[in-house]
Structure 1
Amino acid sequence: MTTNLIDLQNSDVIMATSNMAENHPVGFQWVMKAKERGAKFIHVDPRFTRTSAAADIHVPLRSGTNIVFFGGLINYAIEHNLYFKDYVVNYTNASFLIDPAFKTATDLDGLFTGFDPAKRTYDKSSWKYQVDGEGNPQRDLTLRNPHTVFQLMKRHYSRYSVEMVERVCGIPKAKFEEVAKLYCGNSGPEKTGTITYALNLTQHTNGVENIRSLCMLQILLGNIGRPGGGVTALRGHANVQGATDLELLYHELPGYLAQPLRDAHPDLKTYLEKETPKGGYWTNKPKFMVSLLKAFYGDAATKENDFGYEWLPKRASADAYSHQHMFVDMYNGIIKGFLALGQNPAVGGPNAKLARDAMKRLDWMVVKDIFITETAEVWKAPGTNPKDVKTEVFFMPAAPAAEKDGSLTNTMRLIQWHEKAVTPPGDVTSDAEFVTNLGKRLQKLYANSTKARDKGFLAANFQFGSDPKEPDMLEVLKEINGVATEDITDKDGKVVYKKGQPIATFGHLTDDGKTTSGCWIYTGVTVEGPDGKVVNKANARKPADAKDYLGHGWGFAWPANRRILYNRASADLKGQPWSEKKKLIWWDPAVPGQKPEDKGKWVGMDVPDFNPFLAPDAKNGDKPFIMRSDLVGAFFGPLNDGPFPEHYEPIESPVKNLLSKTQNNPVAKIWNVPDQKNELAPVGSPDYPYVITTYRLTEHHLSGVMSRYLPYLAELFESHFAEISHELAGELGIQNGEKITVMSPRGKIHVKAMVTHRFKPFMVDGKKIHQIGVPWHWGYNGISKGDITNDLSATVGDPNVYIQETKAFVCNVKKGVV
């Protein structure tokens, strides 16, 4: 999320690619504000929804073809000279020269240089810049050299014509041209547009490249770092962003630091050498990592023992402990125990039947939730004999948000504090109380251990505040923020921080053990006030107003309370706004500088996303993208499946790839699961002729734990259903409301048919392709029960982050219960 939802009101055009009106209704108010100001609203979605009803243009497209759609827009903008050239030349890597040995997917029929078909990986040695004698990228500011990123990108997307978009996506040519003119036409100094996305783009075997393609479109049009622009990532619930930031993920530590690998990162020195780039703000990674280790292990983390680095768990492989990998290992007997805190994988995860079968093979499982979920009772799932299940399950009742203090970090990186309204009843506890008490009990159990691996765990702090049981969540937030471990002085000997004082900014973190920080990007959320007391900025409640339309006084947005990231791009090379209409921050040479004798500072309506005293003509003073080592936006960005997004059909598809002979993502992750637990349909299978996508409803929440157990919400959508078009219903003789069977190679479900005009068939290369939609909130527990949609999906993943492909696969539909 590079922007702020409030800022959507400044957009000239907004493109939503998900059902924002229903799934993110609070944020959608700013779309309507923009429309009141005259903005145009485009909705790109296979299904007509309430979002479509509010749109000026609804663009249905076949699920799994987003890269063709965005690639078509990129091609259109280039061919019609609609891109923001000054922005592209100066703020992106478009002018950088690439190794002459590199070839695009246009040259190699869907592949890039270096593909090894035996290993299903790429040798990326040619995916690099040409550099001069000092290691600086060589450039051609005219963008004419055939080896520039711009010319390579132009060649790569030359196949993504208006006609190709129609053939692959099923979008009529006239409709696509209307959208392309509207969206790409809102570019340049005076206009900006934003694109919103959610899981509709991520849950694919090319999910990361889906996001990259829309990001490339945005920097091509000059829409990043500017009012009304940006990439608007819509999170799935109130604290997805917070969970990501604090890294409840398999592959990263808090603050997006890479989780160490067992072989690649044996010690801290090696880890930092390999993971710290030579340029950009990530050169400060040693400070962030050492401060994190000090937060984990306290006084036990010293320079002599690598600050406890050896105690960190190390992953065996890049995908180790990812969701799908974990359940495959569980099924294979490698994982013996499982803690499910606020998660219901028996319903909510891909190939859910495999997940349930895997959990039945555990020695033990702990489930902590607000209701007894399907996961908690996996031992008596339909068709299961409890006597055949070896897993010992412990259910721990959990406190919802109203029964505990804490914070939520929403979709726009905004940390907001909430306070406990009532005390949890009976044995109900918060997740924090459960985890800290479990930690302390385990420390007692291992108190006499002499094993080196246990030293870190025994040194970890699980006591927050004076209460021996319930942690003080403000103390937890303070640890996340970071404190001084000793008095810190400046070069003149003046005390800057006293021991235990909260660190005010991540710019003050150190790599010598003098600071802690449980998540460096959150540093600044707690500070010390004039009275010496801790000020919780997440609890700030000053609403936005005319003087501060971005609402800096409400909550705390990481990093450093910036509301629009990369905002140096809102000004030209001289530091002045591209236009008065789109001004955000600018260089004022008259105001006092960093030192008494200096003049000049960046001022404006947001916190500068860089050193506020760095003059535009200073070294790197014209580089907006500070988190990249080359400091510019990346059209050319090497990922595991290519430096440019390329269209591949979903792993299961009713049609062949029309862009190339490479049908699927050649490096996609496909897990080999025994006992036929992950069967896949071949291309164009007559047994599974229809495209299926999954989605959510406003009236239900995720796997239904927070909605299907509540009578009021349960009766709003009391039964499970599948949306099918009138055309498909007519072909199959299905009436609205009658029972149907939806099946895939992994399983089948019985649901009601919702025959609707919201879905229409797509014409794909002259062939009629039907698509259906099925929500995934139902399970075998709760008031409103139903079959589990995710029993239909496969165990396949994106090669970069291993997310599942549940937004586009294939199925069949049969009348009645089959």
Structure 2
Amino acid sequence: MLTRRDLLKIGGAASGVFFLRGKAQPSGKKVLHKPVGEHPIICPYCATGCGMIAAAQGGKLVNLEGDPDHPINRGKLCSKGEAARGFVESPYRMTKTLYRAPGSDKWEEKPIDWMIQEIAKRIKDTRDKYWIRQDDDGYVVNRTEAIAFLGGSSNGNEECYLFIKFARALGLNYIEHQARICHSSTVPALGESFGRGAMTNHPIDFKNSDVIIIEGGNPAEQHPLTFKWIMEAKDNGAKVIVVDPRFNRSASRADIFAQIRVGTDIAFMGGMINYILENNLYDEYYVKNYTNATLLIDPEFKTATDLDGLFSGYQPTPDNPNEKGVYDRSTWKYQLGEDGYAKRDMTMTDPHSVFQLLKRHYSRYTIPMVSKITGIPEAKLKQIYDLYGSTGKADRVGTITYAMGATQHSYGTQHIRSYAVVQLLLGNIGKAGGGVNALRGHSNVQGSTDHALLYHILPGYMPVPDRKFPTLQSYLEAKTPKKLLPNAPNWWENLPKYFVSQLKAWWPTIDPQISYHYLAKLGPHVGGKPDKSSDYSHHALLHAALAGPLKGMIVVGQNPAMSAANVNMARKALDSLDWMVVLDPFETETSAHWKRPGVNPADVKTEVFFIPTPVWAEKTGSITNTGLWAQWYEKAAEAPDG
């Protein structure tokens, strides 16, 4: 019988066959060369996913080096990978299960059995006391807003799946991890554009590009072994463009460096879109046949160009202090024919076609205007737009890559969406050397997102049910999209199959019509914390702890006391909890928030349970890199005695 582990190993071997030079030879288990126990593992730092060989003796790590047979790094390691052994052997690793009583100024060692029993009591008691069957408006929601689960991007896929299964079974909606504060803007931007909100190609594929734009990232330092493939493309004749406020290490290897004013990226990309359209640099065949450019929009819809910065349907909300206004999106729709499919104009001349609306919207982004906004000289803008626009030809291809320099803006989603618009106009999607390539930061932040450690999705990016859908049938009817065109692909028409399969995986003996009700439903917070909002994301989670409704939190491999926005608020939120469970190799600022300077531990009533965990070299599993490869890693060493 072929196991999941065997399948991942076979997949890894196959990738080597396709990406490494030389003949593929039949072989058995990989032959390693040292007279001590050696194990193939994956680097735990950035999400490039470089292969390593770990050598262990007597349960201790004695050597760590790049795997020469791994197709991504081919034996090389960056400075982070080279230093990874020091993480495993750090003298600061915790080895004891520790308990901090409310108001105490010290840790107490406790047996693991006692810890597990006490943690289970806190979870059950809190869940029972604060269980919400019906919300304030009478909807059946079956949830608790008193417990949160936070973290997971440094854990393996198998662990992440157990985390989300556990949290959803408890009825939690406060489920978040690192992805929310790094690439959460990528998912809607690329998801709406391509159906999946992730890197479209793979780091190795950069070698096939003719022009590479790096905007919102610094891969030479952040993802060095990914940058190696960009340099291989450059060696093959590719041109590299870096757009950044700083002259960084990536810029030092660029053919063109454009120093942009901070916060003006959308203007820069808008200028490129306008230049491509006005100079007919787009791939007309691709645009007509593989995008929605020919589809017709409701005649009442108006762009921001028509309405001086606002789209049609804007309604001010002067009585709401949290927002200036909302949009009535009733005109934001396609025109439908009698057959139920979207109307088209294959000439793309109809003023209500997506193509003409796009031209009208971006017509304001002239080179003089973009230069004035971004600070980039007009001549350099034209040079960049001409060079990248040349990839709209059939014999050339370009790619855009970025990281958190693009995502961590208030307009990050729109920024990344503009990358997708450019690539679709030029026909650079679905091609080797093309795509919009988000470089993820943690070793398994892609896998932890795939396994849905976020409040609004279930594994596979299925939306979490809202309270408005009281039955499984009503949810599936509302969330399963219809085809816009008779021959259009519609991956998500399979949502009913995926969703029912997920319910059967979690509750195999229960009818899906019934187990659907076991899932906590989204909806406005009971008691209005935050005020009648359905937001259970990272910031809302901490706000709920600070305000009081959130009583307990489980934190796995995340450190909100250091990484959250407004850390002073985050630390006060931790002070406000009744109890907290922390699983981490180290005593983090989160687990020891009651020790921080200026705070009297006696005033902090949070009960803390700390459980030290093994690190990546001390366990077996799989992680998913930024290029969506699920890679197996094997246990090489034993965790420290404790």
TM-score normalised to structure 2 length: 0.65
Q: Spell out the pairing of 1:26-425 with structure 2 (5 A cutoff).
A: 26-118=225-317, 120-261=325-466, 263-279=467-483, 280-299=490-509, 301-303=510-512, 306=513, 308-317=515-524, 319-425=534-640
Deviation >6 Å, runs of 4+: none
Render the CA deviation track for 1:599-635: whole Å, top value 9, x for unaligned: xxxxxxxxxxxxxxxxxxxxxxxxxxxxxxxxxxxxx
Whether the aligned pair in 2 keeps the contact of 1:84 and 1:187 (CA below 8 Å) is yes
Structure 1 stretch displaced more, 184-193 or 340-349: 184-193
Between 1 and 2, higher relative CO (CA 8 Å, sep ≥ 6) is seen in 2
Deviation at 1:307, TM superposition (A): 5.2
Deviation readout 1:400-436 (Å, 9 max, x if unpaired): 1001111110000100000111122235xxxxxxxxx
Letter in 2 for 1:331: L
Deviation at 1:241, TM superposition (A): 0.5
Contact 2:391 2:428 survives alignment (8 Å): no
1:466-505 correspondence to structure 2 within 5 Å: none
Rounded to whole Å, the distance in 1 between the matches of 2:541 and 2:369 is 39
Match of 2:209 in 1: 11
Whole-angstrom distance in 2 between the partners of 1:28 and 1:170: 27
Query: How far apart are 1:319 and its partner, in Å?
Result: 4.6
**Alpha-carbon distance in 2 for matches of 1:5, 1:240:** 16
The alpha carbon displacement at 1:265 in A equals 2.2
State whether residues 11 and 227 of structure 1, in contact with CA within 8 Å, keep that contact through their aligned partners in structure 2. Answer: yes
Q: CA deviation at 1:298?
A: 2.0
Report if aligned partners of 2:267, 2:365 keep a CA contact under 8 Å in 1.
yes
- SS across alignment from 1:195: strand
Partner AA of 1:278 in structure 2: K
Note if contact 1:290-1:307 (Cα within 8 Å) is conserved in structure 2: no
Secondary structure of 1:87's aligned partner: helix
Structure 1: distance between partners of 2:450 and 2:252:
34
CA distance in structure 2 between the partners assigned to 1:394 and 1:321 by the alignment: 24
Whole-Å Cα distance in 1 between the matches of residues 210 and 474 of structure 2? Answer: 48
- Cα contact 2:559–2:588 (8 A) shared by 1: yes
Write the distance in 2 (CA, Å) between the matches of 1:382 and 1:225.
53
Which structure's residues are more often helix, by fraction? 2
Q: Is contact 1:8-1:30 (8 Å) kept?
A: yes
Q: Which residue of 1 aligns with 2:40?
A: none
Give the partner amino acid of 2:437.
T
In structure 2, what is the Cα distance between the partners aligned to 1:255 and 1:32?
34
**Separation in structure 1 between the aligned mates of residue 514 and residue 265 of structure 2, nearest angstrom:** 45
Superposition pairs of residues 417-816 of structure 1, within 5 angstroms: 417-427=632-642
Displacement of 1:7: 1.3
Structure 1 unmatched runs, 5+: 428-818
Q: CA deviation at 1:95?
A: 1.0
Cα separation, 1, equivalents of 2:289 and 2:464: 34
1:693-728 CA deviation, whole Å, 9 max, x = no partner?
xxxxxxxxxxxxxxxxxxxxxxxxxxxxxxxxxxxx
RMSD between superposed Cα atoms in Å: 1.2
SS in 2 for 1:357: helix
Match of 2:236, as an amino acid? R
In structure 1, the residue corresponding to 2:257 is in which secondary structure? strand
**Identical amino acids, percent of aligned pairs:** 52
SS at match of 2:204: helix
SS at match of 1:113: coil
Equivalent residue of 1:22, what SS?
helix
Find the aligned partners of 2:588 and 2:596 in 1 and give their Cα distance.
11
How far apart are residue 181 of structure 1 and its match? Answer: 0.9
CA contact (8 A) 1:144 1:151 kept: yes
Alpha-carbon distance in 1 for matches of 2:432, 2:294:
25
- Aligned partners of 2:455, 2:266: CA distance in 1, in Å? 27
The answer as to whether partners of 1:95 and 1:139 remain within 8 angstroms in 2 is yes
Is the 1:52–1:58 contact (alpha carbons within 8 Å) kept by the matching residues of 2? yes
- Distance (whole Å) between structure 2 residues aligned to residue 28 and residue 87 of structure 1: 29
Q: Is the 8 A contact 1:293 1:307 kept in 2?
A: no
Q: Structure 2: 5+ residue runs without aligned partners?
A: 1-198, 484-489, 525-532
CA contact (8 A) 2:271 2:366 kept: yes
Q: Which residue type is aligned with residue 478 of structure 2?
A: K
Cα shift readout 1:187-218 (whole Å, capped 9, x = no counterpart): 22111100001111111222111111100000
TM-score scaled by length of structure 1: 0.51
Provide the C-alpha distance between the structure 2 equivalents of 1:83 and 1:144, rounded to a whole number of angstroms.
15
SS at match of 2:250: helix
Q: Identify the residue that residue 435 of structure 1 maps to in structure 2.
A: none
Alpha-carbon distance in structure 2 between the residues aligned to 1:296 and 1:423:
32
CA distance in 1, matches of 2:601, 2:455: 31
Q: What is the alpha-carbon distance in structure 1 between the residues aligned to residue 549 and residue 364 of structure 2?
A: 46
- Name the SS of the counterpart of 1:178 in structure 2: helix
Q: Is 1:104–1:156's contact at 8 Å kept on the other side of the alignment?
A: yes
Which amino acid letter does the alignment assign opposite residue 277 of structure 1? P
SS in 2 for 1:159: coil
The question of whether the paired residues in 2 share the 8 Å contact of 1:294 and 1:307 is answered with: no
Query: In the aligned structure 1, how far is the partner of 2:403 from the partner of 2:476?
Result: 33
The alignment covers a number of residue pairs equal to 423
